[in-house]
C-alpha cells in the first residue's frame, strides 16, 4: 500500500516514527508550519524553525527512504502579537523558494480574531502574488463553522486564488459540504481528542464521496498517531471498500493536490 500523509508534524516525532511510516508504506509526507505548544519568543526562533523544516527534517526523513516536504507560514495561534507577527511575515518570503517548500501553510484562524484575520490576509496575498498552494487551518470545536466561513469568504473575494489550489484542513461533518460547494479541497484530520477518528473519516467518505478529500494524521507533540491513515484504510477494508478506492483516497488524491506545485514528486 502506498500512502501520502499531506499533514504531519514530523519535527515533533522520533526517528522510530519515521521507521513506522516507512514500514507501513508512507514514503511521502508534507509538514505544515505550526504552533509548537508554546509561544516563540522572537523572530529568530522562526528562522530556526523554518530552517528545521527545510533543511534538517528532509535529511532526517531521507535516512528512512521518505520524501519530506513542508509548508511555510505563521500559524494563527501566534498571530495575536502584532509586532512579532509583522516581523515573521517579513521573513517568510525568503523561505518559499527552497526546494521542498510547497506553499503557504498552515495558515488560517483559531479564535477568529482581528489580528488573526490580518495575518491570514497578508499570507493569502503573498500566496496569490506567487501563485502558491495554500493549506488552511480551521478553528476547533464551536468556532469551526464560523471560522471556516470567514476564511472561505476572504479567499473567494480574491479572484487571483483558484479554489482547487487551496486545501481547507480539519474539516468536520458540519463544514464539509460548504467547503466542497465552493470548489476547495478539504482535509479530514485523524486526531483522537479534538478532530476525528478513522470511523468518522470513513463515514464522511461514504456520505460525501471521494473527490477533493485528503486524509491526514496531523501527528505532532500531543496525543496523536502517525499511522492513523493506515488504520483508516483498514477501516475502509473492514467495511468492504475496494482497494482501488483506498488507493485513490490515500495516495492519488493527495498526489493530485500536491502535484500542483512543480517541486512535488510523489
- At 103, list the grid cell: 506553499
Residue-level pLDDT at 140:
85
The answer to whether residue 75 sits within a structural domain is yes
The answer to whether residue 11 sits within a structural domain is yes
The answer to whether residue 10 sits within a structural domain is yes
Give the C-alpha separation, 34 to 235, whole Å: 29
pTM, two decimal places: 0.97
The answer to whether residue 264 sits within a structural domain is no
Give the C-alpha separation, 31 to 57, whole Å: 9
Give the C-alpha separation, 210 to 218, whole Å: 20
Residue-level pLDDT at 240:
98
Total number of domains in the chain? 1
Q: In which domain, by residue range, is 33 found?
A: 3-258
Residue-level pLDDT at 191:
85
State the DSSP code for 171. -
**pLDDT per residue as tens, the chain (266 positions):** 899 999 999 999 999 999 999 999 999 999 999 999 999 999 999 999 999 999 999 999 999 999 999 999 999 999 999 999 999 999 999 999 999 999 999 999 999 999 999 999 999 999 999 999 999 999 987 899 999 999 999 999 999 999 999 999 999 999 999 999 999 999 999 987 667 899 999 999 999 999 999 999 999 999 999 999 999 999 999 999 999 999 999 999 999 999 999 999 97
The answer to whether residue 8 sits within a structural domain is yes
Give the C-alpha separation, 266 to 259, whole Å: 8
Here the CATH number for the domain that contains residue 82 is 3.20.20.140
CA 23, distance to chain mean position in Å, is 23
The answer to whether residue 263 sits within a structural domain is no
Question: Using only C-alpha atoms, what is the Rg of the chain?
Answer: 17
The answer to whether residue 89 sits within a structural domain is yes
Amino acid at each position: 500500500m502506498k500512502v501520502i500523509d499531506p499533514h504531519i508534524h514530523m519535527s515533533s516525532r522520533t526517528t522510530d516514527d519515521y521507521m513506522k511510516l516507512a514500514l507501513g508504506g508512507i514514503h511521502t509526507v508534507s509538514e505544515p508550519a505550526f504552533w509548537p505548544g508554546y509561544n516563540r519568543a522572537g523572530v529568530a526562533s522562526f528562522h530556526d524553525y523554518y530552517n528545521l523544516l527545510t533543511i534538517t527534517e528532509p535529511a532526517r526523513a531521507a535516512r528512512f527512504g521518505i520524501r519530506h516536504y513542508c509548508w511555510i507560514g505563521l500559524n494563527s495561534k501566534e498571530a495575536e502579537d502584532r509586532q512579532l507577527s509583522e516581523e515573521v511575515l517579513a521573513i517568510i518570503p525568503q523561505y518559499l523558494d527552497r526546494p521542498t517548500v510547497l506553499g503557504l501553510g498552515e495558515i488560517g484562524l483559531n479564535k477568529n480574531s482581528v489580528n488573526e484575520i490580518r495575518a491570514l490576509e497578508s499570507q493569502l496575498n503573498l500566496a496569490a502574488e506567487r501563485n502558491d498552494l495554500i493549506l488552511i487551518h480551521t478553528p476547533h470545536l464551536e468556532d469551526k463553522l464560523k471560522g471556516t466561513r470567514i476564511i472561505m469568504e476572504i479567499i473567494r473575494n480574491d479572484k487571483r486564488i483558484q479554489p482547487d489550489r487551496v486545501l481547507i484542513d480539519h474539516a468536520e461533518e458540519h463544514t464539509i459540504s460548504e467547503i466542497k460547494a465552493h470548489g476547495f479541497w478539504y482535509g479530514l484530520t485523524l486526531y483522537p481528542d479534538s478532530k476525528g477518528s478513522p470511523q468518522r473519516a470513513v463515514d464522511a467518505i461514504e456520505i460525501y464521496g471521494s473527490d477533493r478529500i485528503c486524509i491526514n494524521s496531523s501527528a505532532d507533540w500531543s496525543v496523536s498517531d502517525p499511522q492513523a491513515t493506515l488504520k483508516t484504510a483498514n477501516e475502509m477494508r473492514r467495511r468492504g471498500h475496494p482497494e482501488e478506492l483506498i488507493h485513490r483516497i490515500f495516495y492519488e488524491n493527495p498526489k493530485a493536490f500536491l502535484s500542483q506545485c512543480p517541486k512535488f514528486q510523489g
